[in-house]
Chains A and B, each alone.
Chain A
């Protein structure tokens, strides 16, 4: 099976353009290592996510894979074609959408712009308009199709960009923070559309970067977490969350319990850890169970009922990607966004 994307120890060093060369502080390095030995393999059909704080090197990696930038070290392939030596073959097979891009000519309408971009991929006019109309419909932008691009809001423009990415039916689509600036509803539409597109075309591939944990978690088959230009973890969201060595956590609020009952529950098979606290006002115990897996839950609830206690609430907490991220990167992604 050919891989959609393969990178082999890809590194990228930027020359820093210092605005004013400070004569004294010559010690400051002139170069910046944006990527350092990135090795990834993305099979066809996958929706692969890149997650990382600002400046981690996500966009740099996308630029290398879309032939906009040469790697300083290592090499990269898209659908088996080298991004430097076979750039032409790579370009025939890809497209890219970045959040906040301002592409398109203001005097042209949305539909005309999409037609224009399709021409650069050799798509016949009729077919281009057909695809444009269908995409605009899906992204709820049909009413704007004859509006000039100069008259679009940021979110509308971004939806047009999204259409631009899909209109060429690329084998590998790169989405660099595609939901930036979209409201919750539209962001959801773009996500479910991306998913559906992959389902309908199982040999296509999407590589996506995002700042939104929930988006990565909900959308991606696999995720690479990168920081300071290095891949520090790469796995499915579920496996990543297991990295924390934290099993499913359930919180149970129950009434009518005493110490013996609780000890009995602690001894139930599959319970790794149980912490408890008591709320005197309500007469309730709050119990936190860490279980080996979810199948241990019925037994726990059974013991509770058997001891004469009664269940008030039952809630499940799984470790989130956010937890994984904090653990691996050492800081929260949310702090980055706030900056």
Chain B
């Protein structure tokens, strides 16, 4: 038995669980093509669509930033939400549970690995925007941009962790639900157009749902700071930052509580492993 402080154990677990994703990335070159080139093609399509519609040039920047953030969003939906369910199928979940580490640390590790993966895609998208489509970003408020970006990621992956723990008992059915929600989410978060346009046209309840997805305000705030234009944001960036911080806390706490409960429930109901 090794004596280790809970904090050290947490960080060792995070690093170790991120490793398969980060090392795996380097070992599967085809991944680069699928994960990086394909999304650029779809972003490019949007850019040409807006140009052909003679939309304001500011929209191009909006689309590019949307694509940058969507890299993380897709990672959350595709890789995070179902992760614990997959780990269960692979027989890994029980090994996590019987080890002294926490499932929270395991999920943070997955998130960390996922962020590294998604970042490569985000960086390429951003570079393509700057060089291919001539998007000009304002660098006046970079510290604030990074702060908002960071809090957005924490809230977003907090949401991913929550989904992951909720999907553990419900499995595939729940995931199909999430996928059904996936397309509307692009619309709800204003991934390809200004969020203020959405908020001014849809009923309040839909605006509320939109605001609960961390991508929405994160993207809106970053657009305001990086692409000063005549298109207004929904709220001031500082207000949106506050809301994002609230979401981050909400989702992390929910994930933590959900994990505890799901683990106990699974131990009672014998569902930590698939029978075979």
What residues make up the interface of A, taking CB atoms closer than 8 Å to B? Answer: 14-15, 63, 66-70, 88, 91-96, 101-105, 107-108, 112, 115-117, 119-123, 148, 168-171
Contacts and interface: CB of A to CB of B under 8 A. Distances in A.
B2 A169 contact: yes
A329 to B, nearest CB: 24
B8 to A, nearest CB: 6
Interface in B73-130: 90-92, 94-101, 106
Contact of A69 (B13, B101, B270): B270
Contacts of B270: 14, 63, 69
A120 B267 contact: no
A119 to B, nearest CB: 3
B100 A116 contact: no
Contacts of A123: 2, 4
Contacts of B106: 120
Nearest to A148: B27
**Interface range on chain B: under 10, 10 to 19, 20 to 34, or 35 or more?**
20 to 34
B20 A120 contact: no
22 contacts: A67-B267, A68-B94, A68-B97, A88-B100, A96-B95, A103-B91, A107-B20, A107-B27, A108-B19, A108-B23, A116-B16, A116-B17, A116-B19, A117-B95, A119-B12, A119-B13, A120-B9, A122-B9, A122-B101, A169-B1, A169-B2, A170-B1
Contacts of A70: 267-268
Given A102-B90, A103-B95, A112-B19, A168 B13 contact: no
Contacts of A168: 2
Given A68-B267, A95-B98, A105-B20, 7 more contacts: A68-B94, A69-B272, A96-B98, A107-B27, A108-B24, A112-B23, A123-B2
Nearest to B89: A102
Contacts of A102: 90-91
Q: 7 tightest A-B contacts by CB? A: A122-B4, A119-B16, A107-B24, A105-B20, A120-B99, A122-B9, A120-B101
B98 A15 contact: no
A61 to B, nearest CB: 13
A15 B269 contact: yes
B16 A115 contact: yes
A94 B99 CA distance: 8
A28 to B, nearest CB: 19
A114 B113 CA distance: 18
B182 interface: no
A69 B272 CA distance: 8
